[in-house]
Amino acid sequence: MDPVLIGGVREPDSASLDFYRRRRQGYEAIGTALAQTPDQIVETVKRSGLRGRGGAGFPTGLKWQFVDRKSDKPRYIACNADESEPGTFKDHLLMERNPHLLIEGCLIACHAIGAKVAYIYIRGEFLHVQDVLERAIEEAYAAGYIGRNILGTGFDCDVYVHRGAGAYEAGEETALLESLEGKRAQPRLKPPFPASWGLYGCPTAVNNVETLCNVPLIFLKGVDWYTALGPEKNGGPKLYCVSGHVARPGVYEATMKTTLRELIYDYAGGVPDGRQLKAVIPGGSSVPILLPDQLDVEASFDGISRAGSLLGSAAIIAMDDSTCMVWAALNLLHFYRHESCGKCTPCREGTDWLFKILRKIEQGDGELRDIALLENVAGLITGKTLCAFGDAAATPALTTIKHFRGEFEAHVREGRCPVGAPWRAGTPAVSAH
Amino acid sequence: MTFHPKMDYAAGHHQSQRRQPQDDGMPFAFTGEHRARLEEIAARYPPEHRRSAILPALYLVQRQKGFIPLNAIPHVAEVIGCTAAEVEDVVSFYTMYYTRPMGQYVLQVCRTLPCALRGAERVTAELAGALGVEVGATDASGTFSLLEVECLGACDRAPVVMVNDAWHECLAPEDARALVDRLRADGEAAVSGCHHKVEK
Give the CATH number for residue B111.
3.40.30.10
Amino acid (one-letter) located at A197: W
What's the average model confidence in pLDDT over A40-55?
96
Cα A133 from Cα A136, distance rounded (Å): 5
A201 DSSP assignment: G
Last residue of a domain, one of B29, B58, B91: B91
Q: Which residues of A touch B155 (CB under 8 A)?
A: 86-89, 241, 243-244, 249, 315, 317
What's the average model confidence in pLDDT over A42-63?
96
Cα B69 from Cα B23, distance rounded (Å): 6
Residues in chain B: 200
E strand map for A62-102: 76-81
What's the average model confidence in pLDDT over B76-83?
97
Residue A433 has pLDDT above 50, yes or no: no
**HEC secondary structure over A135-175:** HHHHHHHHCCCCEEEECCCCEEEEEEEEECCCCHHHHCHHH
Residue A254 has pLDDT above 70, yes or no: yes
Residue B138 has pLDDT above 90, yes or no: yes
pLDDT at A429: 40
Cα A362 from Cα A412, distance rounded (Å): 8
Whether residue B112 and residue A86 make contact (CB cut-off 8 A), yes or no, is yes
Q: With bands split at pLDDT 50, 70 and 90, how would you rate the model's confidence at B199? A: very low
pLDDT at B18: 64
Helices B72-80 and B54-65: crossing angle in degrees, nearest 10, is 140
pLDDT at B166: 87
Pick the CATH number of A237-320 from 3.90.1150.10, 3.40.50.12500, 3.30.300.30, 3.10.20.600: 3.10.20.600
pLDDT tens digit string along A116-165? 999 999 999 999 999 999 999 999 999 999 999 999 999 999 999 999 99
Of B89, B97, B119, the CB nearest to A433: B119
B93 DSSP assignment: T
* Residue A247 and residue A268 in contact, taking contact as beta carbons nearer than 8 Å: yes
Q: Which residues of B touch A353 (CB under 8 A)?
A: 7
Cα A312 from Cα B14, distance rounded (Å): 27
Whether residue B55 and residue A162 make contact (CB cut-off 8 A), yes or no, is yes
pLDDT at B167: 87
E strand map for A8-90: 76-81
* Residue A112 and residue B150 in contact, taking contact as beta carbons nearer than 8 Å: no
Among A152, A149, A5, A173, smallest CA distance to A77 is for A173
Among A181, A177, A180, A179, smallest CA distance to A190 is for A177
CA distances from B40 to A124, A295, B166 (A): 19, 51, 25
Measured between CA atoms, the residue of chain A closest to residue B162 is: A125
Q: Which residues of B touch A89 (CB under 8 A)?
A: 153-156
Cα B27 from Cα B42, distance rounded (Å): 24
- Tell whether A353 is within 8 A of chain B (Cβ): yes
**Torsion-angle region of A375 (φ positive above 0: left; ψ -120 to 50: alpha; else: beta):** alpha
CA distances from A403 to A278, A280, A311, B100 (A): 11, 11, 19, 44
pLDDT tens digit string along A324-345? 999 999 999 999 999 999 999 9
Give a yes or no: residue B67 inside a domain: yes
Which residues are B108's β-sheet partners? Answer: B147, B162
| Total structural domains within chain B | 2
Cα A186 from Cα A343, distance rounded (Å): 7
Cβ contacts below 8 Å, chain A against chain B, sum to 194
Measured between CA atoms, the residue of chain A closest to residue B164 is: A125
Of A86, A128, A200, the CB nearest to B194: A128
* Residue A304 and residue A296 in contact, taking contact as beta carbons nearer than 8 Å: no
Bond preceding residue A237 cis, omega within 30 of 0: no
* Residues carrying CATH 3.10.20.600, chain A: 237-320
Q: Do B127 and B193 fall into the same domain? A: yes
Residue A281 has pLDDT above 60, yes or no: yes
- Tell whether A356 is within 8 A of chain B (Cβ): yes
A398 DSSP assignment: H
Bond preceding residue B173 cis, omega within 30 of 0: no
Q: Do B153 and B175 fall into the same domain? A: yes
* Residue A50 and residue A236 in contact, taking contact as beta carbons nearer than 8 Å: yes
Whether residue A244 and residue B97 make contact (CB cut-off 8 A), yes or no, is no
* Residues carrying CATH 1.20.1440.230, chain A: 325-414
Q: Do B192 and B110 fall into the same domain? A: yes
- Tell whether A83 is within 8 A of chain B (Cβ): yes
* Percentage of residues of chain A with pLDDT beyond 90: 93
Residue A315 has pLDDT above 90, yes or no: yes
* Count of C-beta atoms within a 10 Å radius of residue A63: 25
Of A83, A165, A315, the CB nearest to B55: A165
Mean pLDDT of all residues belonging to chain A = 95
* Count of C-beta atoms within a 10 Å radius of residue A34: 18
Residue B200 has pLDDT above 70, yes or no: no
Cα A251 from Cα B89, distance rounded (Å): 37
Q: Do B86 and B122 fall into the same domain? A: no
pLDDT at B186: 87
Last residue of a domain, one of B91, B117, B146: B91
* Cα angle A91-A180-A9, degrees, rounded to a multiple of 5: 15
Give a yes or no: residue B2 inside a domain: no
The structure's pTM equals 0.95
Region of poorest pLDDT, from A65-69, B11-15, B159-163: B11-15
Measured between CA atoms, the residue of chain B closest to residue A315 is: B155
Cα A64 from Cα A39, distance rounded (Å): 10
Q: Domain containing B160: what range?
A: 105-198
Where are the alpha helices (H) located in A365-431, listed in sequence order? Answer: 368-381, 389-414
Cα A239 from Cα A214, distance rounded (Å): 11
Q: Which residues of A touch B162 (CB under 8 A)?
A: 125
pLDDT at B193: 57
- Tell whether A374 is within 8 A of chain B (Cβ): no
pLDDT at B90: 96
Domain containing residue B52: CATH number:
1.10.10.1590
Question: What is Dmax (Cα atoms) for chain B?
Answer: 55
Whether residue B10 and residue A332 make contact (CB cut-off 8 A), yes or no, is no
Give a yes or no: residue B8 inside a domain: no
Among A253, A190, A251, A188, smallest CA distance to A217 is for A253
* Residue A60 and residue A51 in contact, taking contact as beta carbons nearer than 8 Å: yes
pLDDT at B75: 98
Helix%, strand%, coil% for chain A, nearest 5:
45, 15, 40
CA distances from A282 to A152, A315, B6, B188 (A): 45, 6, 35, 37
Q: Is A114 helix (H, G, I), strand (E, B) or coil?
A: coil
pLDDT at A428: 46
pLDDT tens digit string along B4-51? 545 555 555 545 556 788 888 899 999 999 999 999 999 999 999 999
Q: What is the DSSP string of A319-373?
A: EETT--HHHHHHHHHHHHHHH--S-SHHHHHHHHHHHHHHHHHHTT---HHHHHH
Best of B61, B134, B151 to disrupt the A interface (most A CBs within 10 Å) is B151
Of B44, B151, B174, the CB nearest to A86: B151
Q: Do B18 and B62 fall into the same domain? A: yes
- Tell whether B38 is within 8 A of chain A (Cβ): no
Give a yes or no: residue B98 inside a domain: no
pLDDT at A1: 72
CATH class, range A325-414: mainly alpha
Give a yes or no: residue B130 inside a domain: yes
* Residues carrying CATH 3.40.50.11540, chain A: 17-229
Of A84, A244, A339, the CB nearest to B114: A244
Best of A321, A431, A433 to disrupt the B interface (most B CBs within 10 Å) is A431
- Tell whether B114 is within 8 A of chain A (Cβ): yes
**Torsion of the alpha carbons at A283, A412, A346 and A56, rounded to the nearest 10:** 10
Q: Do B55 and B86 fall into the same domain? A: yes
Residue B1 has pLDDT above 60, yes or no: no
Of B80, B86, B155, the CB nearest to A249: B155
What's the average model confidence in pLDDT over A264-288?
96
| Mean pLDDT comparison of A52-56, A178-182, A230-234, B139-143, highest-scoring range | A178-182
Region A17-229: CATH code: 3.40.50.11540
pLDDT tens digit string along A376-428? 999 999 999 999 999 999 999 999 999 999 999 999 999 988 887 888 876 54
Last residue of a domain, one of B63, B91, B119: B91
